[in-house]
Structure 1
């Protein structure tokens, strides 16, 4: 998008919003100074406009339209730091957040920060229900050098280290014959996307992902996973669709834990006012391998969630249903079910950026009901016990951008699983920190 065109849009839309809002909300004190600033902006006299806006601010005129117009004038004069400061404050207001992110994208583009610009343009596109703003954000993304829209292949990578208090997810170390069930670990992952084709309504990708976790002492729980697949993104009326087919291969230590062939469909619709609705479906045909043959079977997940702007930040909340039909495990007269039906409720709150940090709070409750009762040996015979689990999760993630394409993160989560079968009770603390990079 040519720079002149984007700036003219920013100013004209700001004036349109001002005319719609000030009649209902503007306080009389300072309004004359504000209107004088608008007139100066229209004449291209942005230094005079800034002086008038600041006078209006000191007089008590404290409206989002003033912050926005002030940011536009700073932008036109090349004072990008002050412009970004004004727009960043507006990201906390659900009615202005999409427009503010769009203009923060313009600022980042002028500062030659394409990755940061892409983040803001994507935020503007996702949060807006204004067709013109969404089109401008999409066009701005297409014209960014070195971003996903221009690059045929992109790579993201993560390197981290952490501590896991309960590696085996057991009530105690003795249950799983370990001297110590807690351990330090290192973790690394990478995801590659290669675009095959794209037009205005559809794009096709090949993708792959690799994830490794290695424990310092409890090496029998080391994990390796590989994912390869294909997906198609397209727009169908007011829905954005993501259709995927992929193969997962997961190993624990050197043994294959699961190999699965999966299909997934995700649909998202913008509802207006910064809100959206998302629907999810995933089905997998699972092969547990020789050691884990009892995991063979099907798994399906259906979910619905929504994004809601609040005074505290952006809240995403939802529900997921998981259905399993596995072979289960029967040996020595005992029976263990691996076919739970699970109901999950979750909420995730992303707080407004505090300086260079972004914080996300997460909570989840999951109820699991296993299809068939367990048969457990009691020394003289077996006892049948229907298994039910209640799992609670809380967590916090903090992320700080280090450079245009790299970020530092710290993640903590606590899980408490309460089962009516004591062997499946456990609590787990996990904390890790690392660096993410995108190329």
Structure 2
């Protein structure tokens, strides 16, 4: 009997969620270099239900030089049977280093982490098992079934709060070159300052379900500097969205209203129309297409030159592999603003922008995760600038931005985040150039 047949001889039995009898069977084949009396005796003791004695025999075989994946797999199974989950986890991980055992070991790691009370990690191990078992339809189907049942259980627990979600973040940081963050008005201080940052957002589905329904979204945010209060910003917004499936696509479209203030004064009010479509393909990949139209009005006449329209077209691909999610995308932005014109002076505020971005998010373990974002943006304004009748040429700039985050999950709903962001903007207008380094520590609460 080969290894796979000895493992799967009882896979036709009815599968119950996390049934330890299913794949937690001892491997008796010695074709993998597990040839020793101690190994064979361990198998015999295991089959008789004497798991403690089986462990002693398998450990004896290991001391005699047997370090095979089969031995570690059997030790993992035996320790699991005795409730010694930490040791079971260690041996299954070692067995998983062998490509032949990877799918099985990952599956049993899902069982172990579930027993330890970590459902999220269990789901991730089952997903890894499914990825590793692409040529083994039985194991892949079992892993998929475990994922489905675990996620359904989690959904039932969260059913009463399913319609409301969001997060609140409070942070404190330092910027070594404070500048106006809004793209429409760039002001550089060439000074460092500390700041406090607050942001809260909530989504409420008032009708329908996850597939087809209607949602209202609302957010409020504020940034307050210690000394450079002229750079203070406040944002409030509210939006209404409808989502529904369309063939193989998940679609969402809606309208959103934004109100922005700079330094306590009205800045802009914007109405945004958005259409978005997502499609999963090749199981681990998702394609997103998104279009936005912004109708922008100035609140304070000082910013009348920013009024007009903005359009954005985004295409993005995201991929999920085990504990890592990667995104890569492109954004085209077209602007048609009122611009600034006074006498023989004209300044264009209508750029065409091209943005390439990539993001990598990874879970290191149960508590720690990280994220890295890279962005490259090129902007070229539509018309030449003129000052006192002299043509100054077309304004353009390139901005490179790198953001690194490290997150620690205190609990399922509470997270501590450390963030570093570097922005480097080069321009053919000297006053528009800047380099900024921001460090921030935040407390994030999810609901």
After superposition, residues 100-139 of structure 1 pair within 5 angstroms as: 137=147
Q: Structure 1 residues 327-336 or 425-434, which shifts more?
A: 327-336
- TM score, norm. by length of structure 1: 0.74
Query: For residue 248 of structure 1, what is the aligned residue in structure 2?
Result: 258
Q: Does 1:383 align with 2:391?
A: yes
Q: Which residue of 2 aligns with 1:187?
A: 197
Change (3 A) 1:146 1:355: closer
Alignment correspondent of 2:335? 324
Superposition deviation, residue 197 in structure 1: 3.1
Aligned residue in 1 for 2:378: 367
Please say if residues 159 and 435 of structure 1, whose CA atoms lie closer than 8 Å, have aligned partners that are also in contact: yes
Q: Report which of the two structures shows the higher radius of gyration computed on alpha carbons.
A: 2
Choose the corresponding residue for 1:392, options 385, 396, 400: 400
> Is 1:404 aligned to residue 412 of structure 2?
yes
2:440 maps to what in 1?
432
8 A Cα contact 1:202 1:235, kept in partner: yes
User: Alpha-carbon deviation of 1:342?
Assistant: 0.8
In structure 1, list runs of 5 or more residues that go unmatched. none
TM-score, length of structure 2 as denominator length:
0.73
| 1:43 CA displacement | 9.9
In the TM superposition, residue 309 of structure 1 has moved relative to its aligned partner by 6.0
Deviates more, 1:420-429 or 1:202-211: 202-211
Verify: 1:257 aligned to 2:245, yes or no: no
Find the partner of 2:425 among 409, 417, 425.
417
How far residue 92 of structure 1 moved from its aligned partner, in angstroms, is: 11
Kept after mapping to 2: 8 A contact 1:359/1:397: yes
Assess, with a 3 A threshold, how the Cα gap between structure 1 residues 250 and 388 changes in structure 2: closer, same or farther: same
Kindly state the Cα deviation for residue 410 of structure 1 after the two structures are TM-superposed: 0.6
Residues 197 and 425 of structure 1, relative CA distance in 2, 3 Å threshold: same
Residue 239 of structure 2 is aligned to residue 239 of structure 1: no
Contact 1:348/1:362 (<8 A) preserved: yes
Distance in 2 (CA, whole Å) between partners of 1:279 and 1:99 is 37
More off after superposition, 78-87 vs 143-152: 78-87
Q: Return the offset for 1:193.
A: 1.7
- Which of 367, 370, 376 lines up with 1:356 in the alignment? 367
1:28 to 22, 28, 32: 32
Which residue of 2 is the match for residue 341 of structure 1?
Answer: 352
Q: 1:339 to 1:99 in 2, by over 3 A?
A: farther
Unaligned residue ranges in structure 2 (runs of 5+): 1-14, 135-139
Which stretch has the larger CA shift, 100-109 or 238-247? Answer: 100-109
Residue 169 of structure 2 aligns with which residue?
158
Instruction: Give CA deviations for 1:362-404 in whole Å, capped at 9, x if unaligned.
Output: 2211111111111134xxx422311121111112110011123
Q: Which moved more, 1:363-372 or 1:309-318?
A: 309-318
Aligned pair in 2 of structure 1 residues 257, 169: CA closer, same or farther (>3 Å)?
closer
Moved more, 247-256 or 138-147: 138-147
Aligned residue in 2 for 1:305: 316
Q: Contact 1:323 / 1:341 at 8 angstroms: preserved in 2?
A: yes
Match of 2:10 in 1: none
Distance 2:48 2:296 in 1: 67
Post-superposition CA distance 1:215-240 (Å, at most 9, x none): 11111111111121123344444333
C-alpha contact (below 8 Å) 1:121/1:137 kept by paired residues: no
- Against the structure 1 CA distance between its residues 60 and 81, is the aligned structure 2 distance closer, same or farther, given a 3 Å change threshold? closer
Moved more, 235-244 or 205-214: 235-244
What's the CA shift for 1:299?
1.3
Secondary structure class of the residue paired with 1:144: helix
- Kindly tell me: are residues 421 and 144 of structure 1, through their superposed partners in 2, closer, same or farther at Cα, counting changes over 3 Å? same
Distance 1:257 1:276 in 2: 37
CA RMSD in angstroms comes to: 4.8
